[in-house]
């Protein structure tokens, strides 16, 4: 055989495919360019590469009252009603009792329920309780501790409830 020209009637592989591949190169280039810039898209984020992992805060949706900066507790005006309900329900000394509360000015409401038994701490009788808080679509639970004083039960601690 001399060169890449065949003398056969039927085109058989002659071992010289390179000239035939170069004829397809412009078509392959156009196809690659079309696929690379075509209608297919991928979504990905480069924020993690550039340290921009904090979400943008626009302020268009106010945070719920239970997510305030003061430790996640509802407003003090509502907490006053919850504390008063805690003092009253604990003063009754009933087992498995709950007492609803409501702030008529804000519409916030909830219930206070004593949990566990009374215990002595620092020479005072104390008891733990759970309080619910509902204001519009916002809902929260708080856990508290109240101790018996001369004037009745006083709430010593109140914080957002965390499931254990």
pLDDT of residue 23: 63
The better pLDDT of the pair 68, 160 is held by 160
The model's pTM is 0.55
Q: Which of 15-19, 47-51, 87-91 has the lowest mean pLDDT?
A: 47-51
Nearest residue to 14 (alpha-carbon basis) of 22, 3, 25:
3
pLDDT of residue 95: 77
Is the model's pLDDT at 138 over the cut of 70? Answer: yes
82-94: pLDDT as tens digits: 999 999 999 988 8
Give residue limits of the domains in the chain: 65-160
Give the count of alpha carbons within 13 A of 137, CB side only.
4
């Amino acid at each position: 055989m001399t060169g890449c020209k065949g003398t056969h009637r039927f085109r058989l592989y002659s071992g010289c495919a390179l000239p035939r591949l170069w004829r397809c190169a412009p078509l392959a280039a156009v196809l690659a360019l079309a696929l690379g810039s075509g209608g297919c898209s991928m979504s990905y984020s480069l924020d993690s590469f550039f340290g921009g992992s904090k979400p943008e805060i626009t302020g268009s949706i106010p945070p719920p009252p239970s997510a305030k900066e003061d430790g996640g507790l509802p407003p003090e005006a509502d907490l006053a009603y919850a504390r008063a309900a805690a003092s009253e329900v604990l003063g009754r000394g009933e087992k498995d009792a709950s007492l609803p509360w409501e702030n008529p000015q804000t519409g916030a409401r909830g219930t206070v329920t004593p949990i566990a038994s009374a215990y002595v701490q620092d020479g005072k009788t104390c008891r733990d309780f759970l309080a619910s808080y509902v204001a519009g679509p916002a809902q929260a639970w708080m856990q508290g501790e109240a101790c018996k004083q001369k004037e009745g039960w006083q709430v010593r601690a109140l914080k957002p409830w965390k499931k254990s």
